[in-house]
Structure 1
Amino acid sequence: MNGLIALVGSGEYLPVMEDVDRHLLHSLNLNGRKPRVVCLPTAAGREGDVSVNRWSNMGLAHFQKLGAEVDALRIIDRDSADDPQWESLLENADLIYFSGGDPGYLYQTMNGSRAWSAAQRAWDRGAVYAGCSAGAMILARRMPSFRLAGTTEGFGLVPAAFIVPHFDAIPAVFKPLVLTLKRQLKDGERMIGVDEDTALVGSLNGEWQVMGRSKVHVFTRKGEKVYKSGQSLTLS
């Protein structure tokens, strides 16, 4: 991934994220051309048409308001993820946005698919990756499964063992699992917690900035560091 990456704790397509998404769009060097945005409701694929359509329509309205050309692709299962009709839109996108839902389902649907390969070609040339909740979680090496009280495999594209969204709003019943994740960290590993209405934005070889309403928490075996909105950090 050679463009910006946005790890969003919650709030995709809502007014609270407009400044973050404007920043992402303005980072693109398009010589006056409108940015091409692709919204993917894939993580909600098992929730039915009402949920998929809601996320798609929210993404369309949000990015049209910000002046982009937007497509919401109905990639909701493995068959649609392997449908070649989506490849051109994905590989030519300037920003690809994964909204929230089930991270395990999102990973299983996209991993090894034609859609993921096409998106990778876009990211290799500098397109932005934006992922909210499940869309952020899949970039870590592992993903917590609160339903299964364990972890599952992630893409490992961001240097983090775990990425935990909604960090300031985790229900008390799941706090022990978060503590277990901290204990699993090895030397040199980190867990990133992103609060709601907050994003951690940066690039793999550069600085990251906290944007939005609240904070980002970085855990290692040595302890926790908390970064407020506007502060920068590195993940190298």
Structure 2
Amino acid sequence: MISIIPTAAAPDHNHRRAGQNGVNWFQHLGATNVKSLPLIDKASANAEEIVAALNQSNLIYLLGGFPHFLGQTLLKSRSWEAMRQAYERGAVLGGSSAGAMILCQYYFDPQSKKVVEGLGLIPQACVLPHHNAFGSNWAAQLTKLLPQALLLGIDEQTGMINDSGSTQKNVWHVYGKGTVTLYHNGDTSVYKAGEPFEVPIA
């Protein structure tokens, strides 16, 4: 089962439409068992039926929206624990925009203009989403705020997937139309579709 998590779209009451768009997208790709879970606040993040659905999921996808709301909703919740357990059993865990941001140890909240502690799946890292549209504008500031962190600039219509198997668990590849830009210790590296690079995973 594929579970769509529309939490980040809940603050502006857009979670139903966003969730359905996610379902439609995966169905367009050929998936037949796709559900948008009504995980929209702290109460539903700890609801038994949500946790049960996550426990049965082979792919869990976090949609974009408001990163701070998403991060705080999942933090220390039963749903996040279920996601981690599913991931450790072999399920795919991913996200776009805010959904990708909060999976790292740090994320930049554009509303408060502050760096916030994320869920830590990717340690010592911070995603710069929509890198070719506006995310690159955050690079200089975040390099100062997080001097030891690895900044991951992901272009629109582009993804990075950890698909190298257990023998190379820290190796990722770029997919899509754009590039992934890594900022670390004063160096900048750009990777195109199909190219591998290393990012440690917790």
Whether the TM-score (by the shorter chain) exceeds 0.5 is yes
Residue-pair matches, total:
195
Shift of 1:185: 3.7
Alignment of 1:125-136 (within 5 A): 125-136=89-100
Match of 2:3 in 1: 38
Match of 2:153 in 1: 193
Query: What are structure 1's unaligned runs of at least 5 residues?
Result: 1-35
Tell me how far apart the structure 1 counterparts of residues 128 and 32 of structure 2 sit (CA, whole Å).
Answer: 29
Cα gap change, 1:185/1:52 in structure 2, threshold over 3 Å: closer, same or farther? Answer: closer
Tell me how far apart the structure 2 counterparts of residues 159 and 114 of structure 1 sit (CA, whole Å).
Answer: 21
Q: CA RMSD in A?
A: 1.7
Tell me how far apart the structure 1 counterparts of residues 173 and 74 of structure 2 sit (CA, whole Å).
Answer: 27
Give CA-to-partner distance per residue, 1:123-172, whole Å, 9 cap, x none.
1100001100001001121111222222111112113431111011007x
Alignment of 1:35-114 (within 5 A): 36-48=1-13, 51-65=14-28, 66-114=30-78
Give the aligned residue type for 2:161.
V
Give the aligned residue type for 1:39.
I
Match of 1:9 in 2: none
State the TM-score, normalizing by the size of structure 1.
0.78
Confirm or deny that 1:179 pairs with 2:140.
Answer: yes
Shift of 1:219: 0.3
State the TM-score, normalizing by the size of structure 2.
0.90
Structure with the larger RCO, 1 or 2 (CA within 8 Å, 6+ apart): 1
Tell me how far apart the structure 1 counterparts of residues 57 and 188 of structure 2 sit (CA, whole Å).
Answer: 36
Shift of 1:224: 0.3
CA contact (8 A) 1:199 1:212 kept: yes
Query: What are structure 2's unaligned runs of at least 5 residues?
Result: none
- Residue identity (%): 33
Shift of 1:64: 2.2
Cα gap change, 1:206/1:141 in structure 2, threshold over 3 Å: closer, same or farther? Answer: closer
